[in-house]
């Protein structure tokens, strides 16, 4: 009986095959295999080395890690690419300049980004190229002039006292970054994500938080903050918008803040402070539990209250205020229209300047005199006195003429 012990090369299939002792073919010995492997590996190593040299990287391998550039990678299968990068978490990746990925399976990309939590992602960071150029040329006089907000008198004293050139460079760059908050995102908690300059996600144990935009903060569990300066601090809270500056009056409107559990804030200066509260619109406030405020400067203060329109206020529990300058102050009260007020419990005020004060009271009606509004708008007080003689008697006219303030 034939014994299978010989290996032959099959030219048709280009493979090595185990065959009978009677078969003939081109065999490959162990020494030949070793020789071929020995010629292939150095070639591959040379190619890798050449690429690294062309790219200007120094490459080292450490505990299954990959390091490219002047960074360090100490975690298992971690990767560090760039100057001063640190990848200490297992399977972590740090790319850019002075980024840090210390969480397991974390990723830090950009300028001085930090990813600490398990599976966290931090990106962003803004490099001031002008500053780097000035520092490179040692033009500290221009730096002091162009960065006055940073280099105050006491800081200049500190700077001038430094004699070591490298330390002087570091001090200058760090000071500008500190004051102008140019550092990258910080993803602290497990599963958190910080995208953008100065963003913070997952502080104080906030898991799986997402912060996007300059100085956005998402610190609550499963929270999300999107936009410049937005803050989501409650569990499951969402804040969308920015603290954009109003060009007309140069007034800082503030950033949206969602601090309540499962709260939602959308728009400049909005605040959703309580459980499941919603605030939509510029400077809208929703501080009651499950309260909703929609519109400019609306306020839903009472629990389960609703405020809609412009400068409306619903402060009573289960109250509703809709319109402009309306107020629903009583419990389960309703105010609708223009400058209506329902302050009694279960009261209702509807119409123009209606007022319901008593328990269960109802006030309706009110008529807007469009002609009067037009005359007042045009400051035509002489015609007002003529057309509204029943109102503007002699003594009332004296009172009117004595008022100097136009409003």
Burial grade of 192 (CB within 10 A; 0-12, 13-18, 19 or more):
buried
295 plus 364 within the same structural domain: yes
Task: Answer yes or no: is 114 within a domain.
Answer: no
Q: Comparing C-alpha atoms, which of 274, 312, 305, 310 is closest to residue 291?
A: 305
pTM of the model: 0.60
364 plus 292 within the same structural domain: yes
95 plus 82 within the same structural domain: yes
Task: Answer yes or no: is 96 within a domain.
Answer: yes
Burial grade of 301 (CB within 10 A; 0-12, 13-18, 19 or more):
buried
- Please state the length of the chain: 407
302 plus 359 within the same structural domain: yes
Q: What is the CATH number of the domain that holds 338?
A: 2.150.10.10
86 plus 142 within the same structural domain: no
Residue 319: its pLDDT value, please? 97
- pLDDT tens, position by position, for the chain (407 residues)? 444 455 556 665 555 555 555 555 544 444 444 344 334 333 433 443 344 444 444 444 445 466 666 788 999 989 998 888 999 999 999 988 888 898 899 999 888 888 888 988 888 766 566 776 787 788 899 989 888 888 889 889 989 999 988 788 778 877 876 666 656 677 777 888 887 767 778 765 568 888 887 778 888 888 888 887 788 888 888 888 765 433 333 344 567 888 888 899 998 889 999 999 999 988 999 999 999 999 999 999 999 999 999 999 999 999 999 999 999 999 999 999 999 999 999 999 998 889 999 899 999 876 656 677 678 778 888 888 888 888 888 887 788 788 887 76
Structural domain boundaries enclosing 328: 286-368
329 plus 380 within the same structural domain: no
302 plus 360 within the same structural domain: yes
308 plus 333 within the same structural domain: yes
CB 305 within 8 A of CB 313: no
303 plus 349 within the same structural domain: yes
Question: How far is C-alpha 201 from the geometric centre of its chain's CA atoms?
Answer: 8
Number of domains into which the chain is organized: 4
Residue 212: its pLDDT value, please? 83
Task: Answer yes or no: is 11 within a domain.
Answer: no
- Which residues have C-beta within 8 Å of that of residue 322, sequence separation ≥ 6? 306, 307, 308, 309, 312, 335, 336
CA triple 198-202-204, angle to 5 deg: 110
Task: Answer yes or no: is 380 within a domain.
Answer: yes
Tokens of 312: 């409306």
Task: Answer yes or no: is 40 within a domain.
Answer: no
Angstrom distance (rounded) from CA 14 to CA 10: 5
Residue 249: its pLDDT value, please? 35
How many CA atoms does the CB half-sphere of 323 hold within 13 Å?
22
Work out whether strand 320-324 and strand 334-338 pair parallel, antiparallel, or are unpaired.
Answer: parallel
380 plus 343 within the same structural domain: no
Task: Answer yes or no: is 150 within a domain.
Answer: yes
* Domain end (from 138, 154, 180): 180
CA triple 372-376-380, angle to 5 deg: 105
């Amino acid at each position: 009986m034939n014994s299978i012990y010989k290996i032959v090369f099959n030219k048709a299939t280009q493979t090595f095959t185990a065959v009978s002792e009677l078969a003939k073919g081109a065999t490959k010995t162990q020494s030949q295999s070793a020789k071929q492997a020995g010629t292939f590996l150095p070639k591959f190593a040379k190619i890798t080395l050449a690429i690294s040299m062309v790219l200007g990287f120094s490459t080292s391998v450490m505990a299954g890690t990959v390091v490219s550039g002047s960074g360090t990678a100490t975690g298992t299968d971690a990767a560090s690419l760039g100057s001063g990068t640190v990848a200490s978490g297992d399977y972590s990746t740090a790319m850019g300049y002075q980024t840090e990925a210390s969480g397991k399976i974390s990723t830090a990309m950009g300028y001085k980004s930090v990813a600490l939590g398990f599976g966290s992602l931090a990106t962003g960071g803004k490099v001031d190229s002008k500053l780097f150029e000035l520092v490179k040329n040692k033009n500290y006089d221009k730096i002091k002039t162009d960065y006055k907000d940073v280099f105050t008198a006491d800081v200049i004293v500190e700077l001038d006292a430094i004699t070591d050139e490298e330390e002087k460079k570091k001090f200058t760059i760090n000071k500008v970054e500190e004051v102008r908050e140019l550092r990258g995102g910080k993803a602290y908690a497990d599963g958190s994500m910080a995208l953008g300059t100065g963003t913070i996600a997952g502080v104080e144990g906030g898991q799986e938080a997402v912060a996007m935009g300059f100085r956005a903060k998402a610190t609550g569990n499963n929270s999300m903050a999107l936009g410049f300066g937005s803050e989501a601090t409650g569990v499951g809270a969402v804040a969308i918008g920015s603290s954009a500056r109003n060009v007309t009056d140069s007034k800082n409107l503030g950033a949206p803040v969602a601090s309540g559990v499962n709260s939602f804030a959308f728009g400049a200066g909005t605040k959703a402070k309580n459980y499941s509260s919603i605030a939509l619109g510029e400077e809208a406030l929703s501080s009651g539990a499950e309260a909703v405020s929609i519109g400019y400067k609306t306020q839903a203060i009472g629990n389960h209250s609703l405020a809609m329109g412009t400068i409306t206020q619903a402060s009573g529990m289960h109250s509703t205020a809709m319109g402009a300058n309306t107020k629903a102050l009583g419990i389960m009260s309703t105010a609708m229209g223009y400058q209506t007020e329902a302050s009694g419990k279960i009261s209702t005020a509807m119409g123009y300047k209606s007022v319901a004060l008593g328990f269960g009271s109802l006030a309706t009606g009110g008529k807007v005199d469009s002609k009067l509004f037009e005359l007042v708008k045009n400051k035509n007080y002489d015609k007002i006195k003529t057309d509204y003689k029943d109102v503007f008697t002699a003594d009332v006219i004296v009172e009117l003429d004595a008022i100097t303030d136009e409003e």
